[in-house]
Structure 1
Amino acid sequence: MQDRIFGDREKAMEEAYFRQEDAKLLDKLRHRANLDEIALALRDKLRVDDPDLLQKVRDLGIDADSASAFFVAPLLQVAWAEGKVTREERDTVLLLARKRGIDPESPAYVKLGEWLHVRPSDEFFDTAGEVLNAAFAVLTPAEREERILSIVHACQEVAEASGGLGRLLGLGDGVSSMEAATLDKITRTLRSHH
């Protein structure tokens, strides 16, 4: 009997701790905190909720200094959709990163520049999708959809950045079929709630 009481108490304390970590992350996400603050809150949540995912992130070389840049991975994925990043796509990714609070003087911004120069692995992009899903899991469905649409819109901006001849001639948005397929994949990934 006493073992069950202690077991129930332990379980209640554990659940309270998980709720507290979710609340911290939710507060950061809802109040449009900068990406560094969100990264720290998510790190703590992953440490308790999903240590395997946290280890995958670490194995990719993502640390506290570069974590905020990891959150703009979908933008990188679109920029790399055609196998190379154009100057316009690079400039758009960096502009959107600054708008999301990544300081141009920060290690995260430097890391982002590296990722724009050398394509990250598919595992990098897949893991980034998992991390974003974990972050969004604490949001209400409406808030989650708002965040997803914000990321998809930013990805669309990157895809349209180069434009191509079609856009110059007014024949479309300049998004290639490779970029469109990448946008669809990102959207599906972000909407695939655990």
Structure 2
Amino acid sequence: MTKGILGDREKALEDNYFRQEEAKLVEKLRQNARLDEIAAALRDKLQVDDPELLMRTRQLGVTVETAPAFFLAPLVQVAWAGGSVTSSERETVLGLARGREIDPASPAYAQLVSWLESKPSDELFDTALEVLRSGFSVLPPDERRARVTTLVDACHKVAEAAGSHVATLLGMRQDVTRAEESVVETINNKLRIGTGESASD
């Protein structure tokens, strides 16, 4: 009997802790906080909610310092869609990072630069989308939809940057754009799966 009571009490404490961590993440997302603050809140939530996903993220070499870059990994994925990253795509990704208050002197910014120079694994891109989807899932549907839309719009900006490449003058823009738009569509679909939305929402 005592064991059952203690078990219920432990479960109640665990549920309460989970709700507190989720509330912290929701607050950071609603405040449109800095990416490093959102990363810390999401890490704490994943420690309770999905430790396996957190472990996979760490195994990919993502640290607290570089986590803000991880949130922008979909932009890097779009930049690599054409097989190489153009100078316009690179500057668009880094400009969007600066716009999200990632300091050019920070480890996160250096990580983005590294990923733009050497293509990361598909596993890193896929895991980043899982982490983002988990973070967005705590929000009410309208706010979640807005978050996904904002990220997908940023991906479109990277895709559009490919059009300013010299390849445009050689008549290759259509092929490059098609490849990048396909990746944007995949990112959009994956972010919406499991969040109660259809990909077309």
**Residue pair 1:162, 1:174 contacting (<8 A) in 2 also:** no
* Whole-angstrom CA distance in 2 between matches of 1:51 and 1:180: 33
> How many correspondences in the alignment?
191
State the superposition RMSD in angstroms: 1.8
Q: CA deviation at 1:38?
A: 0.5
- Structure-2-length-normalised TM-score: 0.90
Matching residue of 1:86: 86
Deviations 1:142-189 (A, max 9, x none): 000000000000000000012158988xxx999611111101100001
> 1:174 and 1:96, CA in 2 relative to 1: closer, same or farther beyond 3 A?
farther
Letter in 1 for 2:80: W
2:106 corresponds to 1:106: yes
> 1:166 and 1:142, CA in 2 relative to 1: closer, same or farther beyond 3 A?
farther
What does 1:1-40 correspond to in 2, within 5 Å? Answer: 1-40=1-40
Q: CA deviation at 1:105?
A: 1.0
* Whole-angstrom CA distance in 2 between matches of 1:46 and 1:118: 28
Q: Percent identity?
A: 56
Structure 1 runs (4+) greater than 6 angstroms displaced? 165-168, 172-175
Letter in 1 for 2:183: T
> 1:166 and 1:64, CA in 2 relative to 1: closer, same or farther beyond 3 A?
closer
What does 1:148-159 correspond to in 2, within 5 Å? Answer: 148-159=148-159
Deviations 1:27-66 (A, max 9, x none): 1001000000001111111111111101100110000110
Matching residue of 1:187: 188
Matching residue of 2:124: 124
**Residue pair 1:75, 1:154 contacting (<8 A) in 2 also:** yes
